[in-house]
Each structure stands twice: as C-alpha cells, then as structure tokens.
Amino acid sequence: MSQRTSRISGFHKLSRDERLAAIQAVAGVDDATLEVLKASSALPFELLDRLVENAIGGFTVPVGVATNMIVDGRDLLIPMATEESSVIAAISNTARQCRDTGGFFTSISGTEMIAQIQLVKLSDPWAGRAKVLEKKAEIAQICDGCDPLLVKLGGGFRDLEVRIIDGRFGPMVVVHIIIDTKDAMGANSVNTMAETLAPSLAAWTGGRHHLRILSNLADRRLARARAVWRKEAIGGAEVVEGIVLAADFADHDPYRAATHNKGIMNGVSALTLASGNDTRAIEAGAHAFAARSGRYSSLSRFEITAEGDVAGSIELPMALGIVGGATKVHPTAQACLKILGVTNAAELSRIAAAVGLAQNFGALKALATVGIQQGHMTLHAQNVAITAGAVGDEIAELARRLAEGRAVRQDVAEAILAEIRAKK
Ligand code: MEV
C-alpha cells in the first residue's frame, strides 16, 4: 500500500515522467490516468514547465471565435477561451443585432496602474503623509529608474496619492504610486517599483514599510462601451421593457447584480484568457469596482432611448496587456491576438468592455424572454450526451432528444442512448 502523503521532497526537480510516477505512488491513479495527462497538451512540455511550477500536463479549454462584432467602426472576430457552452453563440447573436446601429463604441480612461505601499507604526501619520508628498520628484525618479524601457516607451511614473487609513492596530499611511504601464498589464513593473521605493518611504516617515503590491482595483484603467439595439431587431417594445426591468433588478439588488456581472465576465474573462491575460486580476477589479459605492451593484446600464430602443453601456477596470506574461510566451494567446488584430493594450481593453456588454445584453434578453435554459440546454445536452457515453452520430441525436424532452440529465441520457443503440 502506498502511503498517501503530499509531502514529496524535490518534486520540482523531477522530470515529467518522474513526477507522474510520484503522483501515481501517492494518489494511486491508474496508468490510463497518467496517459491522459501526458496527452493533455499540444504545447511542448518544456513551455508548460516554464509557465508554472511542478507542471504535469496542460488543460485544454476550447477557443472559439465570436462573429459579427463591430467595435469603433472595425469588424472584428473575437477569440474566446471558455468551457461554457452558449457564451460564444450568445455574443455572436447579440453583436449581429446591433450592427445596424454601428455596433459598439468604446473609450478608455488610461493605462495607469496603482501600486500600494503600506507604512505602519508611525507616531505622526499626517506629518508622514506630508513628507511623502514633498518627495514626489524623488519618488518619480526612483520609480522610473526601475524600468527605463517602460519610460522609453512613453510610460512610467505619473502621480502620487497618500491616504491615511484607520486600522485595527492604529492609523496606517498608504502610498499609491500611479504608473503608466502602457501595453503591459504592468504587475511586475509596478511591484518592483513599490518594493524599491518602500525603504525610502519608511526612512522619510519614521514608519515601517509593510505590504508592497499593486491594486487590482485598476480604476485608472476604466474601459467603457456602449451600443444601441433597435426594438425591431430584438423582438419589439415588450422585449425592450423586459431588458430594462431586468437591468433595474441588478442595479438594486446585490444577489441579482452578482449574477448579472457574472454574465458580463463570461465574455470579458473568455477574451482575457484567450489573450493570455490574468483572468483573476480582471475579475477582482470588476467586482471591487462594482462595489465602489459601498453597495455591490451592476457594472452596466440599460435605458430606453427617445426612439424606444435599448441603449446599453458599461464601465469597468480593464488591466489587460499585450506584452509580458503569458501574452507573449503562450502561442495560442499570440495567435488569438493576431486574429483580433490589436496593436496596443488600450484597444484590447476597449474591445473587452464591448464583449462584456454584448454578453450581458444577450443574457438579459434571454432571461427577459424565453429564459436562459432553452439556449443553454441545447448546448449543455451535447455535453451530457458525451458524458453518457454517446459517440459519433449518437451525440447529435441524443442531444436533440434530450433538449426536446427538456430533462437534460445523465440518467435520462443513458436511457435514451440505450434506446438508440437497441434500434441500431
Ligand atoms: C450564466 O453563465 C450567466 C447568466 O446567469 C447571466 C445573467 O443571469 O445575467 C445567464
């Protein structure tokens, strides 16, 4: 009997086969499971091993392309990496329905990131704050000195904010350095700056520096998008009313707002992942921004225009990059960025906002009319059919019968599959 301990010394130094053998010894998985892991990625193992520690395989998420999007006058194909069926179909549909009004129009507030340095144990925090603000020029120099390439590309230090926060252990001084990271998401750059700067801040204020890290509430990188859906394109005045009523629910109730915003992130995160960006950073920023008033609310707005159509708009933090991190080293991310045809991070961020709005509109329209299950279930039925063991032509037939019967469940699928096979 193998002993089930997760304490495996030097695991990271092992080859892939050795790692798999060690996993087999501890977890007791069979050879077939190891074979699945070995065949799990089209990417070379050396690349996977460089991307994360202790790599054993890859996890393939489907990449699809949403069609019909027009963003700021450009026709775009949107690469999306998502395991959720119906996301790509929904966005393609929604984008088609606003082509006659010009599609999506976008803007962005900038490409600045905030890094925070926490100073604690100051006897005179207000004086400390004043001292830090006096040093703005020196702080700019220290920050820019950390990343001369960024400065050469037109980015670098932009501004300084110093806040005093009353914590449980007394007041702390929190310094924000504001850095234009241009085409990079910028985490590495601003974190290095924060760590380099912190000892000087501590010396100037007489405090002790503690955390030094970027903030994911990237509210100096706000991407916005808007679009109009004509009532004739979406099923008439009743649908228009249904959509604004649904949006009103999200504006006023955090339980609904969480789900409403999740729908937005179905689109945003799929593009974020496809472009090799950090989905968690984008999610964290979006939800923190949604709660900025103190009450969690919707990231989008839907109104009825003077003509009786639906005007949708959205604004959310969008710290996306096209250089650095996985965006450059992951070949699929590179391919996706090429399909999208973006030349800078601001453009990618603006498109992501449009994708979020499109996705959101699609969900609200479905919810306000036929309900979400109709579209969802047709696609979900295919997954259930495969899980039930259907192969080849059986998948489509079983999926169709499951969706028609509206009981898209594993047990029902198995019974119908047995029927299909008995008739063969
Ligand atoms: C499901 O992934 C997303 C929705 O729940 C979004 C919404 O309710 O607005 C359909």
Rounded to whole angstroms, what are the CA distances from 168 to 120, 205, 210, 254?
12, 20, 15, 27
Asked if 54 and 19 touch (Cβ cutoff 8 Å), the reply is yes
* Nearest Cα residue to atom 2 of ligand 1: 263
Neighbours of 198 (CB within 10 A): 19
Measured distance CA(258)–CA(253) in Å, rounded: 9
What does the pLDDT profile of the chain (424 residues) look like in tens digits?
A: 455 788 999 999 999 999 999 999 999 999 999 999 999 998 999 999 999 999 999 999 999 999 999 999 999 999 999 999 889 999 999 999 999 999 999 999 999 999 999 999 999 999 999 999 999 999 999 999 999 999 999 999 999 999 999 999 999 999 999 999 999 999 999 999 999 999 999 999 999 999 999 999 999 999 999 999 999 999 999 999 999 999 999 999 999 999 999 999 999 999 999 999 999 999 999 999 999 999 999 999 999 999 999 999 999 999 999 998 888 889 999 999 999 999 999 999 999 999 999 999 999 999 999 887 777 777 788 889 999 999 999 999 999 898 888 788 899 999 999 999 998 8
Q: Following DSSP, what letter does each residue of 240-307 receive, concatenated?
A: HHHHHHHHHHHHH-HHHHHHHHHHHHHHHHHHHHHTT--HHHHHHHHHHHHTTTSS---SEEEEE-TT
Mutate which of 260, 376, 380 for ligand 1? The one with the most ligand atoms within 8 Å of its CB, which is 260
Domains in the chain with CATH codes: 11-51 (no CATH), 63-107+222-370 (3.90.770.10), 112-214 (3.30.70.420), 375-422 (no CATH)
Sign of CA dihedral 132, 137, 142, 148: positive
* 403 contacts 410 by C-beta, under 8 angstroms: no
Mapped onto helix, strand or coil, the DSSP state of residue 197 is helix
The Å distance, Cα 259 to ligand 1 centre, comes to 6
Alpha helix segments (H runs only) across 104-176: 125-134, 136-146, 148-152
Cβ(33) – ligand 1 distance below 6 Å = no
400 Cβ below 6 A of ligand 1: no
DSSP letter at 158 equals: E
- pTM equals 0.91
Catalogue the active-site residues: 84, 262, 278, 376
The CA distance from 109 to 99, in Å, is 25
Type of residue found at 329: V
